[in-house]
């Protein structure tokens, strides 16, 4: 019985100590938070962001034309532009997937994710342009919906350009 009580008391002391440590933010955690903010700020101020945006719009336009060759070459350019921005490695990888694929359905699937990343990048950018529209199609991505950027208020859907080119709506205006 004494052994069981000793084990219970010892377990209780360890549990209390662990809870107290978990509640205190460490200096390392604070440093990581600060460095995350720095990286985001560097990405937002990068001069390359305007080039990424322009190349992205070119890629979106190639999707509207359903030109696999145009999509591949523009995605390769976008990959190069994204590679020049800190924190955009995964997005550059998506552009690479689009550039190396010959299946337009797979390219469009990757474009859905790439668009989310580029929208986030553009929203954090500090460059001035004419209005940029965040468009949304509820039918894209097998009914889950998908976003894209446009410089025109009129909808031109890159996910369904052959059958539902006007499907979608402007969800937000940036700048």
For residue 167, being part of any structural domain is answered with yes
- pLDDT of amino acid 9: 38
pLDDT tens digits for range 20-76: 223 333 333 333 333 333 333 333 444 688 899 999 999 999 999 999 999 999 999
For residue 33, being part of any structural domain is answered with no
For residue 7, being part of any structural domain is answered with no
Angle between helices 89-100 and 68-83 in degrees, nearest 10: 160
For residue 145, being part of any structural domain is answered with yes
Distances (CA, A) of 50 to 47, 56, 154, 168: 6, 10, 22, 25
Average pLDDT in the 91-114 region?
97
Which residue would you say has higher pLDDT here, 13 or 95?
Answer: 95
Segment among 14-23, 76-85, 141-150 with least mean pLDDT: 14-23
CA–CA separation, 56 vs 51, rounded Å?
8
pLDDT tens digits for range 123-170: 988 767 789 999 999 999 999 999 999 999 999 999 998 888 899 999
> How much is the pTM?
0.72
Contacts of 94 (CB under 8 A, 6+ apart): 110, 113, 114, 117
For residue 65, being part of any structural domain is answered with yes
- pLDDT of amino acid 47: 64
Which residue would you say has higher pLDDT here, 15 or 77?
Answer: 77
Q: How many CB atoms lie within 10 A of CB 12?
A: 10
- pLDDT of amino acid 156: 96
For residue 26, being part of any structural domain is answered with no
Stretch (H or E) spanning 13: helix 2-23
Which residue would you say has higher pLDDT here, 108 or 39?
Answer: 108
For residue 67, being part of any structural domain is answered with yes
pLDDT at 120 over 70: yes
Range of the domain at 119: 46-174
For residue 6, being part of any structural domain is answered with no
Q: How many domains does one find in the chain?
A: 1
């Amino acid at each position: 019985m004494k052994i069981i009580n000793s084990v219970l008391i010892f377990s209780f002391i360890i549990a209390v100590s662990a809870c107290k440590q978990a509640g205190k933010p460490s200096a390392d955690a604070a440093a990581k938070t600060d460095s995350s903010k720095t990286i985001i700020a560097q990405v937002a101020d990068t001069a390359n962001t305007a080039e990424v945006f322009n190349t992205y719009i070119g890629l979106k336009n190639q999707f509207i034309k359903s030109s696999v060759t145009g999509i591949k070459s523009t995605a390769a350019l976008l990959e190069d532009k994204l590679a020049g921005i800190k924190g955009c490695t995964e997005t550059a990888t998506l552009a690479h997937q689009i550039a190396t694929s010959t299946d337009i359905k797979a390219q469009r699937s990757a474009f859905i994710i790439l668009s989310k990343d580029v929208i986030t990048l553009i929203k954090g950018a500090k460059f001035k342009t004419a209005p940029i529209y965040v468009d949304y199609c509820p039918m894209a991505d097998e009914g889950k919906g998908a976003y894209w950027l446009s410089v025109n208020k009129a909808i031109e859907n890159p996910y369904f350009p052959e059958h539902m080119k006007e499907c979608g709506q402007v969800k937000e205006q940036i700048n």
